[in-house]
Amino acid sequence: MSNEDITLTAGDAEVTVLPGDGGRIGGLRIGGQELLRQGERFGCFPMVPWCGRIRQGRFLDGATVRQMPLNAPPHAIHGTARDGVWHTARTSGTEAVITHDLVAPWPHPGRVTQLVALAEDSLTLTMSVETYDDSFPAQIGWHPWFNRNLGGTDVQLDFKPAWQEERGPDHLPTGNRIDPRPGPWDDCFGMPGGVDVTLTWPGRLELKVTSREEWVVVYDEQAEAVCVEPQTGPPNGLNTLPRLVTPLEPLEASATWSWRRL
């Protein structure tokens, strides 16, 4: 198994997958136009085995309190897999499967598998976390950095969440659900019917981010990019809404980006 860069093509769409750089999507080009912000921190990276921030890096694992490194002091953020090397399991012209083994500082052995599937008008990302040993809480999500501007008017966001997680001064949900407020956002929203967010670059492209999951974080406070992040639970969810991975039941999620020219 290698960790060399992978290029997928379908019609005029091209995706670069970077197993050696945290399993991220390094680029998505449609008709030669790059949609993702470039750079080693950007593209679209997988958030696993947790999404967003864990309060003070601590979470309850059964009766044990676990401490993760504080990579966004005073919190731990976005999981460990984006900092690790992934390996290529198989590729074709339009699909790639890459894997990552969970290791320290994560306390439990497990394997993450990510399928990247490109079509002429869509990109589907599917991720699973499996364990063959003990059970543990986990989350799955994706953190894309879409370019705010593709050479015309800035992107417009359209979505209709059922609620917004009230954000405390520590950037974590307080546990209160409030009516959605206008942006700019660095906030988590609930969409019980599934994530459905439309990004429109006027006169150029419309892209829809959809997922069966009901949680999405929207971040648009940066001048260069906006983020629409489907995930299996809210920030600090290892403490407030844990999803358990067991030897009999892996955790799996998927997200699709579909587009059309305007």
Q: Does domain 6-261 have CATH number 2.70.98.10?
A: yes
Note the pLDDT of residue 74. Answer: 97
Q: What is the mean pLDDT of each run of 10 residues along the chain (262 residues)?
A: 89 97 97 95 97 97 96 97 96 98 96 98 98 94 98 96 96 96 96 98 97 98 97 97 95 98 94
Note the pLDDT of residue 189. Answer: 98
Note the pLDDT of residue 141. Answer: 98
Distance CA 34, CA 43 (A): 10
Note the pLDDT of residue 1. Answer: 58
Which pTM was predicted? 0.96
The domain segmentation of the chain, as residue ranges, is 6-261
